[in-house]
Structure 1
Amino acid sequence: MLDKLKKTLVKSPIVKKGEYDYFVHPITDGIFLVEPDLLREVSEGISKVADLNVDKIVCMESMGIHIATALSLKTDIPFVVVRKRHYGLDGEVAVHQVTGYSKGELYINGIKKGDRLLIVDDVLSTGGTMIAVLDALKTSEGEITDIVVVVEKGDGKARVKTETGYDVKTLVKVDVKDGEVVIEDSML
């Protein structure tokens, strides 16, 4: 399982952003071509490991959107996007995020008290975005039932657990060694 994901990850080019080794991949960056079979494989993988007894899928803009779309079409569960744009709508929750290579504001709309939520995202590295979103979702009073991220890189998973108490499931764990992506582990 996840053969195409693994194969394409190890072929990913590496870009340096300061000291951060950033790999460029269709699922995590929309570069190069996002092939339907790769996206289908990812949504199938998520559906095998995630608790799908939820009211909404929550994803982060921008690279979580295609993952949530594919998963929503597969499961008939609607999704909400944590956006980078402030709309000023009633109930909007602001999220300050800091990642290994950027920082900024995100905004959550469309979560109601008691909503059961599955959070999906493309990559978890430092954990900064995920921690900020989880903290903000507490304000919305939605119930986070599961968190699944396609690619894990770095210590973000442990940091999320330490700082929020939430476990994050990841489909594939990678590292960058000698300028190349190396698969370290896989759930499937």
Structure 2
Amino acid sequence: MTATDELRGLLLDRIRDVPDYPEPGVMFKDITPLLADPVAFGALTEALAELCVRHGASKIVGLEARGFILAAPAAVRAGLGFVPVRKAGKLPGATLSQTYELEYGSAEIEVHAEDLRAGDRVMVIDDVLATGGTAEASLDLIRRAGAEVAGVSVLLELGFLAGRQRLERSLAGAPLEALITV
């Protein structure tokens, strides 16, 4: 499923391009104007919740930090549980962790070990799919916890960074749905 032209237009009109942020040459996609608009944010929440229900998810994982903002209301709207995947060292108690490579180093994410179980069908939600490193690491965490990947849904895919191609193997046939691709 792709977003309707009407939904795509509503969302795109409220995503602001910020040149040279956080460093020269980068065009940052700022979603805060979209979040500030209750009609656009509501439409986005509804679209994400519908994707989760359609793909049979039983839980939604949100990726730190902007993924939390999108995943939590989608989980409430869909009547599903929300599980945060956080940067290392931010969760108390027993966690599963996954290290992944960035273009200029590495990073690590974690999830509470007890929050995902065998039988869970988990949809990953994030704001932007860029190179796919964080999403790929989250799929590994979900499977290591014994859960099944229902899919990945993002507001915006930066197609020129080839994150979709990086995720093909990790998705193992699960869908990757972007409401907008640029």
Pairwise TM-score range, normalised by the shorter structure: 0.7 to 0.9
Structure 1 residue runs of 4 or more that deviate by more than 6 Å after TM superposition: none
Shift of 1:68: 1.1
Q: Does 1:144 align with 2:149?
A: yes
Q: State whether structure 2 residue 165 is matched by structure 1 residue 161.
A: no
Residue 71 and residue 124 in structure 1: after superposition, are their counterparts in 2 closer, same or farther (change >3 A)? same
1:119/1:33 CA distance change after superposition, 3 Å: closer
CA distance in 2: counterparts of 1:33 and 1:169, whole angstroms = 20
Q: Which residue of 2 aligns with 1:67?
A: 70
Quote how far apart the aligned CAs of 1:97 are.
3.4
Letter in 2 for 1:79: F
Structure 2 SS opposite 1:23 = strand
Q: Unaligned 5+ residue runs, structure 1?
A: 175-188
Which residue of the partner structure matches residue 49 of structure 1? 51
TM-score, normalised relative to structure 2: 0.80
The C-alpha deviation readout for 1:58-95, integer Å capped at 9, x for no partner, is 111110111112212211211000012434523x1102
AA aligned opposite 1:8? R
> Do structure 1's residue 36 and structure 2's residue 41 form an aligned pair?
no
Match of 2:110 in 1: 107
Identity of aligned residues (%): 24
Partners of 1:24 and 1:31 within 8 A in 2: no
- RMSD of equivalent CA atoms: 2.5
In structure 2, the CA distance between the partners of 1:148 and 1:13, relative to structure 1 (3 Å rule), is same
User: Structure 1 residue 89 and structure 2 residue 96: aligned?
Assistant: no
Match in the other structure for 1:6: 12
Question: What residue is the counterpart of 1:133 in the other structure?
Answer: 138
Separation (CA, whole Å) in 2 of partners of 1:78 and 1:100 = 33
- TM-score normalised to structure 1 length: 0.77
Which residue identity lines up with residue 34 of structure 1 in the other structure?
A: A
Cα distance change of structure 1 residues 99 and 150 upon mapping to structure 2, 3 Å threshold? farther
More helix by share: 2
User: Is the 2:34–2:40 Cα contact (8 Å) retained in structure 1?
Assistant: no
Q: Is the 8 A contact 1:99 1:127 kept in 2?
A: no
C-alpha contact (below 8 Å) 1:59/1:119 kept by paired residues: yes
- In the TM superposition, what whole-angstrom CA distance separates every residue of 1:33-54 from its partner, at most 9, and x where no partner exists? 6332222121122234343532
